A and B are shown apart, each in its own frame.
Chain A
């Protein structure tokens, strides 16, 4: 079986996911096209060597529908023989897409495959695609459905993370992101988004608030009290976790992932095709997997999938030099660190989605690229990227520098 290597990783900066966001007037097609063209141009890639483009999109409707991966490949002037497929594993889609690309290469299905994602949350809001999970009474009841914010607050309550704790985490994420940008740590992978006359629409993550302090966060009201109390979601989740007296609502916009627009792409290929294309691999994709976890609390998957993927790779948590865990909510990351005994100085060292935002379908590929860049900057060997996922799942990938 062939090995799969990462040859390149690119991403757009993340625009604010509102109508005044810098990328709001860029179509999702344009964002996806931008990253595909960047992969080609940076590597002088003969795109006929690319067999498939796998893009994660979590709301694949309206302009994000109709297999935007294939359509973007055509729009990016890739060779006609390049196929494309859109996938959805909720928030992990970008990483899952990369894992699928890797699996294609390892199975001999593809020589080069691109994994990535695109999401314009300002143009196609989260939830636009509907879905039975929360709406169909049969499954809503059976799975004790509650929106992710309730799960995040339940995690904070059950494992004892106070409002102060989660706010402190958020402040740190902002600090790290600001420092990383200042030091140019993302330079290698950021591809500015331009309009058709060459003007830059956005060249840096604009969601960041580097001046965030404990005080500024303290003034924010918890975001999920109404959902929890009035809509009854707290009582639903407590039927699943009856050892909790009352959910302590601690999350708000300031300590949860930002809603943003963005796209990312990772060029994955075999050793042979790299040689053919005259490219040097940057890392080997050593192991990857997904797992299902309890859907009601929803966000406890990362620790479980990490244990699973480490076991597959014959490794321990302490063998990993650097971690990236998507900051969907502060409590998610704090729980992960606690359960696996991972220090914060090995995880999300350049900040995370709390500061920079989480463009649903693309994030998984973005944090993998961020991980690789930082591994190279530090000269460390192994890294693990993981994300929590809707409906209770986790996805993880271990990479090894070569």
Chain B
């Protein structure tokens, strides 16, 4: 045994300690599962063994299943090779093997006690649920939960059947559907665990349970067992499903098969005894694993996001950046937010603006955010005060003389940016890196003011935050033409320090996120110009799984800002610029009608102070409705494909060089249909050849913006995918 240590004490109690070598956390892998099952079976068979304690030798208990193992089961070897039925059967059999092993533990006649010393998630918690007794250490940071839904999976080791049999369907379903975790006290209250004890007493208490002759049977194996709250056809039980189905359907728009599978597994499983229920769960888990959504979500939201967080793309050989004090130029919403997240991560911040009042106002934003955290019990007042004390508002650029990293977050205006850059260049120490938070202005151009002031252009970079800074996970790092590896490493270290996810792109107008995101809102405007009913446009946008529909989103971004960007682009691009109905609509709304968006109380929507927003009735006059309306399916395709296509263009132009960066950046940056795994995952899933075919059709029907690029045509011809063969080629 390499993954689990087996100890037997003088009283005949066996302790199985999970402690996988070379890993910071225990996971359910093929090897660790096999060892656990073997050890459990052996203990049950050994007459000298009274009972078994299951615990972990690491700070966390078990973090879940090894997702790369799951990916392998359904990956190239699984689905592309062999028949689908054969793969499904193999997955099902594999799941049932573990299920049957856990049932042997439950029915073996020897008490198994889970001594939960740390975090137990997904399969890790399912191991605990199959124990007869669960004791958890009283550390409030410990999280217990079936979190599989967050990566497009569902519990596959009995969780969908044991959790509702412990807590009732009403309590169990939201936990599983949202992948929510509980701290020890809540877990005790909910009936998930039996006892909460001090960490030091955990093993002692576990052994005491066994030595005192603790029960070795599960509630669901006892005669007369009834599911708490009733089965789906009891009066109370039925309502849980009728309402639950609707709430889920409303939330997922039918885009997330894992959640639907969880509902079905619980519904069908609660109508039969546990052994049949486990087979039902295994069937649904098999369908989920074989659905492209789970593989795509695991790849982008788990594997690649983790890699990005671990800075896999960080240039080799650059020593860790010195991060003590950072400077922020501009105390507006963005600058204030950047100051907040930096101070929160322990950095001292100099927050500079034109006047003391404006600088103080920026600091005040942090004060308000911190106050809210304290109010909600998420932070102690002391800690909040310490964070706030790190932010120093100022007007004097001399305060930048000992700053390691400066982030410029002033207006999107070349002249203003050039001015503050010049002034900062004079004050910053030699080792400092200068980063601009611009969302669209090419970095290489902005760097000219820095170079002109005699500074090394290699130290100029773009660090693009998203609004609201305190809640958006993604940071887009933009390499200018002359940006050095050292500056890139410095920026990545900073982003990791403030616990956000970096994605690295190259310099071009709009970079990656702003450029591709804009195609979504623009497509909505073009649809409006064609006479598509606004409600249809908005519902189609929602139904693709985007967090907000395009017209509402445009209102939030602010129509005058969009107008300004359009005008700037027109100026910069010059003769090659193509104006369309989208730009006309924005101009009319902003210039002629003064409808600037949500902040002005009116844009595409009206925002009454005393009610919910609603589409402006005047849109019908602005954009007369076409007699024939397109299907919602066609609109959904347009929304998704234009973004995916633009992403493919970014790949071809090497604005983004890795599909992983594009997909993680898209999902975290603007919430691109998370179920798809990202725009390039979407293309792979549709099939490149089919995607090209569809785009040609869309180009015919709606215009050349849908014309597939050379990269995609070549990939289609050569039968390549972004995550298969083409990925390697493009990196070369």
Contact = CB atoms under 8 A, between A and B. Distances in A.
- The 7 residue pairs across chains A and B that have the minimum distance between CB atoms: A232-B250, A235-B250, A242-B539, A137-B263, A245-B535, A140-B245, A232-B247
Interface string B535-549: 110111001000000
Interface stretch (B235-243, B327-335, B502-510): B235-243
A235 B539 CA distance: 10
Interface residues of B, number: 33
A134 B233 CA distance: 11
Nearest to B541: A242
B246 interface: yes
B260 interface: yes
B94 interface: no
Interface string A160-190: 0000000000000000000000000000000
A113 B61 CA distance: 71
A140 B246 contact: yes
A231 B264 contact: no
A135 B232 contact: yes
Contacts of A138: 264
Nearest to B265: A137
Given A137-B245, A137-B267, 10 more contacts: A135-B238, A138-B264, A145-B246, A232-B249, A232-B250, A235-B251, A239-B253, A244-B535, A244-B539, A245-B538
A140 B615 CA distance: 30
Interface residues on A, range: 20 to 34
A245 B615 contact: yes
A373 B251 CA distance: 50
Interface in B259-285: 260, 263-264, 267-268
Contacts of B418: none
A49 to B, nearest CB: 42
Contacts of A288: none
Contacts of B242: 134-135, 140
Nearest to A134: B242
B161 to A, nearest CB: 15
B51 to A, nearest CB: 39
Interface in B532-577: 533-536, 538-540, 543
Interface string B283-321: 000000000000000000000000000000000000000
Interface string A228-245: 000111111011001111
A242 B543 contact: yes
B708 to A, nearest CB: 28
Given A135-B238, A137-B264, A245-B535, A239 B246 contact: no
B580 to A, nearest CB: 24
Contact of B536 (A136, A137, A242, A246): A242
A121 interface: no
A159 interface: no
B247 A239 contact: no
Contact of B539 (A136, A231, A232, A239): A239
A236 B250 contact: yes
Contacts of B246: 140, 145-146, 231-233, 236
B260 A135 contact: no
A231 B243 contact: yes
Contacts of B254: 141, 239
Interface string B601-638: 00000000000101100000000000001001000000
Contacts of A243: 533, 535-536, 539, 629
Given A243-B536, A245-B614, A141 B250 contact: no
A321 B300 CA distance: 66
A185 B535 CA distance: 48
Nearest to A246: B614
7 contacts: A130-B233, A136-B241, A232-B251, A233-B250, A236-B250, A243-B535, A245-B535
A235 B254 CA distance: 11
A144 interface: yes
